[in-house]
Amino acid sequence: MMRTRPLKVALLGCGVVGSEVARIMTTHADDLAARVGAPVELAGIAVRRPDRVRAGVPAELVTTDATALVKRGDIDVVVEVIGGIEPARTLITTAFEHGASVVSANKALLAQGGAELHAAAETHGTDLYYEAAVAGAIPLIRPLRESLAGDKVNRVLGIVNGTTNFILDKMDTSGAGYSEALDEATALGYAEADPTADVEGFDAAAKAAILAGIAFHTRVRLDDVHREGMTEVTSADFASAKQMGCTIKLLAICERAEDGKSVTARVHPAMIPLSHPLASVREAYNAVFVEAEAAGQLMFYGPGAGGSPTASAVLGDLVAVCRNKVAETTGPGESAYTRLPVSPMGEVVTRYHISLDVADKPGVLAQVATVFAEHGVSIDTVRQQGKDGEASLVVVTHRAADAALQATVGALRKLDTVRGVASIMRVEGE
């Protein structure tokens, strides 16, 4: 039974993603209507620069007054693909106040102000969906929020930034250094002119905050996420990784502590074994590995960015919130009932791969081993290599608290026989 009054959709933003959303809404209108149970009509498109609107976007729908569009009174759903904190936050809040549900692709806003937006949606009896905010087209928010709703997620390990995965994959496969690989990523359009948000891990950290909150049914804010970028990863690190049967990925890692009483969220480069399913994620692809108590190990893989993939995720959410409007209901809202605290990085249990330049003389290994022992860090393997009077010492630790590992490295730097710490990298996914 199809209801005939169409659902009216306001589109905020008409860049790479927005114009693709507009295109699919127009060309696939019949499919969307059949799947929703009512026609879905694009009722207005707010843009900053109407002279830049792409070909194919219906010009008569374009306005520069986003606020007026959202307040118009006949809008059922607002699709927000502007990005950034303001004016997106105010527009979304205004949409809720006017009874509209919201579909957003805005990871930064969700990571910083998700709790408040969820509360506003609930107050006004509307939906807030944001599948597109994490890992583009890959269904991830919905599986975590709904498919695994009867399970207990213990760990999420994800490659959630395509730019940095492209750069690291290039370094791994071609032996290029960081800047050379970044240049190639920029030339191919995988990296922006200012790549800071990607290479320093800000983008991945926002996604980690969102994923951790959903996975553990608690609130994790951007500030709770420990963040290290990947600009200092070198070809030498990749060579070390290869010797260990590993590669290097920039990972977003969300974990429940072993005692179940806290969670952690962090972003940093890490070595992972080549046998791990994440190791073979190439180019700008994203993938998220989830460990749940009953389900075991799951992985979700696909394009993490781009106009069409992101539009796919936006439109899936659009169909869902439109169905909810037709059924006069709302979908699952925020689930933060566990109120688990987020522990600092020092309490994260991990392993270190440490490469030291040392004096090539007897007793060095004993000195180094003593430092590890004094900090309660147990050594898994040591490899010594001599080269022209100098030597390198590669130590891989057993699992220990990050604070203890950091303190160990600090003490190693002070040893006379240690000339330098060539690289430190965490080892994950084992």
| Residues near its own copies, by CB under 8 A | 20, 24, 28, 31-32, 34-35, 131, 137-139, 142-143, 146-152, 217, 277, 280, 292-303, 306, 308-309, 311-320, 323, 327-330, 332, 335, 337-338
18 is in an annotated binding site: yes
342 is in an annotated binding site: no
Q: Considering the complex, what minimum distance in angstroms separates the CB of residue 140 from its own copies?
A: 9
Q: Which is nearer to its own copies, 202 or 216 (CB)?
A: 216
Q: Which of 170, 207, 249, 325 is catalytic?
A: 207
Q: Considering the complex, what minimum distance in angstroms separates the CB of residue 218 from its own copies?
A: 12
Q: Which is nearer to its own copies, 136 or 201 (CB)?
A: 136
254 is in an annotated binding site: no
155, containing H or E segment = strand 153-159
**Active-site residue, 152 included:** no
Burial class (CB in 10 A: 0-12, 13-18, 19+), 155: middle
192 is in an annotated binding site: yes
Q: Which is nearer to its own copies, 35 or 71 (CB)?
A: 35
Q: Considering the complex, what minimum distance in angstroms separates the CB of residue 29 from its own copies?
A: 11
**What is the C-alpha R_g of the chain?**
24
47 is in an annotated binding site: no
How would you list the strands of the sheet with 77-80, edge to edge? 62-63, 40-46, 7-12, 77-80, 101-104, 128-129
400, 377 Cβ separation under 8 angstroms: yes
Q: Which is nearer to its own copies, 146 or 374 (CB)?
A: 146
Q: Considering the complex, what minimum distance in angstroms separates the CB of residue 127 from its own copies?
A: 12
Q: Which is nearer to its own copies, 322 or 354 (CB)?
A: 322
Q: Considering the complex, what minimum distance in angstroms separates the CB of residue 204 from its own copies?
A: 20
Residue with tokens 């969670």: 263
> For 381-386, which contacts have Cβ atoms below 8 Å and span 24 or more sequence positions?
383/243, 386/360
Q: Please tell me whether residue 126 adopts helix, strand or coil conformation.
A: coil
Whole-number Å distance between alpha carbons of 347 and 263: 10
**Pairing of the two strands 418-427 and 349-359:** antiparallel
Residues 6 or more apart whose CB falls under 8 angstroms from that of 153 comprise 144, 215, 216, 256, 290, 291, 292, 293
17 is in an annotated binding site: yes
Residue numbers in the known binding site for NADPH are: 107
Residue numbers in the known binding site for NADP(+) are: 12-19
Instruction: Give the active site residues.
Output: 207
Residue numbers in the known binding site are: 12-19, 107, 192
